Chains A and B, each alone.
Chain A
Amino acid sequence: MAVAQHGPVPRRPHGRLARSGGREWRLSNAGFGLLIIVPALVVLMAVFVYPLLYSAYMSLRFYDLARPQDARFEGLGNYLSILRGHEFARALKNTLIYAGVAVPIEFACGLILALALAQITHGRGIIRMLLTLPMMLAPIALGLIWKFMYNDQLGVINWLFRELGLAKRPPLWLTDPDIALFSIVIVDVWATTPIVILLMLSGLLSIPSEYYEAAKIDGGGTLSNFWSITLPLLRPAILVTLLLRGMDAFRVFDIVYVLTKGGPAFKTDVLSYYAYRLAFTDRSIGHATALAWIMTVILLVAGSVLIRLMGRQERGA
C-alpha cells in the first residue's frame, strides 16, 4: 500500500480536515453533513423533485399522447375543465365515500385487535403474523381473489349464502350499483386492517405500564383506563395511522381496477382510476396531471386540518 509522501493526515476538532500539502478545508459540522448527503439529494431530486415539477409543468399544457407535436401552453384550462366535469364530481364523491367508510372501519377493527393482541403474552408473534397475512398479498392478487369470491355463480361467498340458507338471492356484490362500492370497501378493510394493527400495537406497547399500575392503585377500571391513559398516549400513533390510511384510501386504484374498472356504469369510479383513464384512454397527459395535482392539494389540506385538530386536542388535554 502506498504511503503518503508527506506523512499521516492529522485531524483537527470541529470537523476540520487538514490535507497534506498545507491546504486546509474548513467545514463546519453542518457543512460536512450537507456534503455527505449531497449524493442522496441528487438522487432525490432526480426521482422525486424533478418528476414533481415536470408534472406540474405538464398540468399547464395541452398534451395528447397521440399528437405530441400539438402540445401547447394551456394555463389553468386543464384544471378548470376537470373541476367543471361531471366525471370529476362523480369520482370525488365515490372517493370520499370510500375513504370515509373504509378508514374508520379499519381503524376501529385494527385498534380492537391491537388491544387484544397487546394483552397476549404467549404466541403474540404467531397471531400477529397470521393477522397480518393479507397485507403481504400484492393488491392485484388480492383483487383477483376477491373478484372470484364475489362471483355470483362461481364464488364461495354466495355459495355459502345459499348453502347456509342466509339468502335466497345473495347480493350481487360487484354488479349491484347500490352496493358495489361498499363491496370494494370490504376488500380494502380486509387488506389494510393489518397495517392498522401493527401501528396501533407498536403504540400500545410503548405506553409505560406504570401508568396502568398507578391507575389500578387508584381504582381505575378498564374503560376509564382506556379513555384516560391509552387513548391520549396513543394519539401520535392514531394521527399517523389516520393520515397514512386516509391518504392511501383516497388514492385507491388497484383494487378498483381489478374488481370493477369503475363499473357498473362508473358507479365505482374513483379519482385515481379517473386519472388513469385520462392518461391512457383519453390520452390527455395534461388533464391527468392536473387531476393528480388537484388530488395532491386535497390531501395536503385534509392532512393539515387533521394535524391541527389533533394538536389542539393535545394542548386542550
Chain B
Amino acid sequence: MGDTAPRDNTLATGAGTLPRRRLLRYGGGLAATALAAPMLARPGVSARAARPSAQATPAGGLALSAEAQAFYTPVAGFDGKRLQVVVNAGFFSREDSKQVFESRRDQFNEATGAEVEYIPLPENQMYDQVRLELATNSGKYDAMTTGAGGAKDYGLSGFLLPLPTPPDVADFYEGDVAQYSIGGELYGMPMFADTNLIYWRSDLFEAVGLDPARPPETYDEFRDYAIRLTTDTSGRHPGEDGFDADSIDIFGSAYKGTAGLACTWEWYNYLYAFGGDLLDADYNPTLNSPEAVASLTWVVDNFRTHKIYPPDITSYDYTEFHTLFAQGRVAMAINWPYMWNIVQDPAQSTVVDKVRVGRKPGQVTHGGNIGGWSLNVFKMSPNPDLAIAFAKWMAAPEASLAYAQVQQGNPVRHSVSAVMQDTDPQLYGAIGENLADGRGVKWLDTGPSWMEIEKIQYEAIQRALIGDADPQAALDDANEAARGILEKNRFYEDLLPQLQG
C-alpha cells in the first residue's frame, strides 16, 4: 500500500471512518442473513419430503383416474427453483380470472417448493417480445400461454419442448389437441377452447315474424333473415320502396373487417361452411377454390349489395363489433363466446335477456374454426422439468373447470362442458355443439409462415370489401402470394416432414 495506506486500520468513507473489524462484522452479518433468508421465508422446508402435496390434488369434483391424477399432481423437490411464465395480460383483466391463475400458481409453489412468477403482457406485445428472446436464446422465459397458433408456430421453429400426452387426452376436444400437436407430439397443454357461436336477438326475430328460438340453419337463410331484420329509421327493409340505406337503425348482421386476425378468423367460419379450406391434403394453398370464392362473395354481397352490414366494417375489430351488438344495433352476429358476458351485463348492454346463442349455420357443412389457448414450455428454459410440471398442473381438469367458470365460455374438456351445461344450458349447449363442428385453422400448420399469410389474407378480404378487386381476383392474388411465402420460408422442405411425422 506504500505511503498512502492509512495507518489506523480504518476505511475512509464519505461519512467518516469505519473500523475494519466493525465492517467485517456488519458485512458478515449481512451475508449470513442473505444466505439464510430463503430458509427463513419458508418454515418447515426441511421437513418436506419428495411426495405429492395433499393440497394439490386436481380432482375438483371431476372423475379422474389414478393415472391421470398422478400425471397432473406436481411433486416436491424443486426448492429454490424459479419459473418465469409469460401470460396474456387479458387473463388478468378480470379479478376472478386473475385469482384462478394466482391460486393455481400458489398451490403449485407450495407443493413443489419452487417459485413461479407470471409475466403478464398485452397479447401483441407478448408475441413480439417473446419472439425476440427466443431468437437470441436468452433463457429469460420458461413457458408461455399462446393462442391457437402458438404451439405450432413456436414448435415448428424449434423453440418448444414436446410435452407428455395426458392419460385422459380423450377428454380434451380433439380439434384442440390437433392444433397444439406436431407429428403426433403435443407441444401445448390445452387451457381454453374457443369457438364461434351465432348470437341473435330473439325479440327482433319475433317482431318480424321469425321463430325467436330458431336461428337460421344455412347461410342463405342467414342472409334472408338479415335482410328482413335490417331496418331503416322509417321501419323499411332492404328491397322495399323508400328503404334508405344511409339511415339504417338496425343492421341484420356485421363483420369484423379490420386489417387483422379478427377479419380472417371470422371468414374461416364461412369458408369451412361453404366447403372450402385453406390447404389441400398436400398443403397446397386453396384460397381461390370455388368454395372459397363463394364464401367471400357471400360476405361481399352482404356488404355491398344487400347492405346488411354497417358501412364502415373494414375498420371493425372486436371492440366495435361487440359494442354495436351490445348497443342493440345489430340483429345477428357470429362471434366468440366472450361476447355473451358483455351482452348480459347491464353496465355494457342494452339487450340483456334479449339475446340467444346457438349452433352456427351451415351451408355445405356446419364447419367453423376453433381458437383456444395452450401453455408451452421453451427449450431455453433453465428448469425444463419444473416448467413441464407446471404446464401439466395448469391443464388439469380442476384447472379447466376453474377457467370455464370464470371465463364463462371456454371449456376445453368434454367433462367440463358437461358440468357447465348445468349452469347455463343455452350457452354451454351452443359451445359444445360448435366445438364438435369445429376444426383448427390450417395456416397454423405452416408454423412461422402463418402470420405472414394471414396478412395477405386480410388484405384480400379488404380489397374485395372496398371493391378494389372482385373476390375471385383478390383470392387468386392471395393464393399465389401464400404459395410464394411457403416456398420462401422452405415450408415444404423443412417443416412439412415434421408435420407428417
Contact = CB atoms under 8 A, between A and B. Distances in A.
The answer on A and B forming one complex is yes
B315 A263 contact: yes
A172 interface: yes
Contacts of B131: 65-66, 280, 283
A172 B132 contact: no
Given A1-B16, A67-B157, A261-B258, A174 B312 contact: yes
B136 interface: yes
A151 B313 CA distance: 9
A12 interface: no
A6 to B, nearest CB: 8
Contacts of B455: 277, 281-282
B244 to A, nearest CB: 8
Given A265-B463, A265-B468, A147 B259 contact: no
A151 B12 CA distance: 68
B487 interface: no
A280 B448 CA distance: 11
Contact of B313 (A20, A66, A175): A175
A66 B451 CA distance: 12
Nearest to B159: A66
Contacts of A125: none
A1 B246 CA distance: 85
B74 interface: no
Given A65-B132, A67-B157, A152-B310, A265 B462 contact: yes
Contacts of A5: 3-4
A289 to B, nearest CB: 13
B67 interface: no
A22 to B, nearest CB: 10
A175 B314 contact: yes
B355 interface: no
Given A174-B312, A175-B311, A2 B259 contact: no
A2 B17 CA distance: 7
Given A65-B132, A264-B466, A153 B312 contact: yes
Interface in B96-138: 127-128, 131-132, 134-137
A264 B259 contact: yes
Given A174-B315, A175-B312, A280-B128, A154 B462 contact: no
Nearest to A151: B320
B324 interface: yes
A68 B135 contact: yes
Interface in A47-87: 64-68
Contacts of A259: 315
Nearest to A4: B4
Contacts of A21: 3-4
Nearest to A167: B246
Contact of B315 (A2, A147, A168, A283): A147
Contacts of A283: 131, 448, 451-452
Contacts of A265: 259, 459, 462-463, 466, 468
Contacts of A147: 315
B157 A66 contact: yes
A13 B33 CA distance: 51
Contacts of B6: 2
A169 interface: yes
Interface in B274-318: 310-315
Nearest to A282: B452
Interface of A is mostly: loop
Contacts, number: 106
Residue of B137, B312, B451, B463 contacting most chain A CB atoms (<10 Å): B312
Nearest to B313: A175
A2 B258 CA distance: 72
A260 interface: yes
Given A154-B320, A154-B327, A265-B466, A67 B311 contact: no
A20 to B, nearest CB: 8
Nearest to A2: B12
B465 interface: yes
B246 A261 contact: no
Given A5-B3, A283-B131, A153 B324 contact: yes
A260 B258 CA distance: 8
B432 interface: no
A88 interface: no
B266 to A, nearest CB: 15
A274 to B, nearest CB: 11
B10 interface: yes
B392 interface: no
Contacts of B135: 65-66, 68
Interface string B472-492: 000000000000000001000
A169 B311 CA distance: 10
A266 interface: yes
B36 to A, nearest CB: 35
A8 B128 CA distance: 59
A262 B260 CA distance: 10
Contacts of A174: 312, 314-315
B329 interface: yes
A269 B368 CA distance: 31
Interface string A258-290: 011111111000000000010011110000000
Contacts of B153: 66
Interface in A181-240: none
Contacts of A68: 135-137
A261 B262 CA distance: 12
B323 interface: yes
A154 B350 CA distance: 14
B330 to A, nearest CB: 9
Interface string B131-167: 1101111000000000000000100010000000000
A177 interface: yes
Nearest to B320: A151
Contacts of A20: 4
B216 interface: no
B438 interface: no
B227 to A, nearest CB: 19
A45 B260 CA distance: 38
Contact of B312 (A152, A266, A277): A152
B120 to A, nearest CB: 18
Interface of B: 3-4, 6, 10, 12, 16-17, 127-128, 131-132, 134-137, 153, 157, 246-247, 257-260, 310-315, 320, 323-324, 327, 329, 447-448, 451-452, 455, 458-459, 462-463, 465-466, 468, 489
Closest 7 CB pairs of A and B: A66-B448, A263-B259, A261-B259, A265-B462, A264-B314, A152-B312, A66-B157
Given A68-B136, A263-B315, 19 more contacts: A20-B4, A64-B489, A65-B131, A65-B132, A151-B320, A154-B323, A154-B327, A168-B246, A169-B246, A172-B311, A174-B314, A174-B315, A177-B466, A259-B315, A265-B468, A277-B455, A280-B128, A281-B451, A283-B131
10 contacts: A2-B17, A5-B4, A65-B134, A154-B320, A169-B246, A175-B315, A177-B466, A259-B315, A262-B259, A265-B466
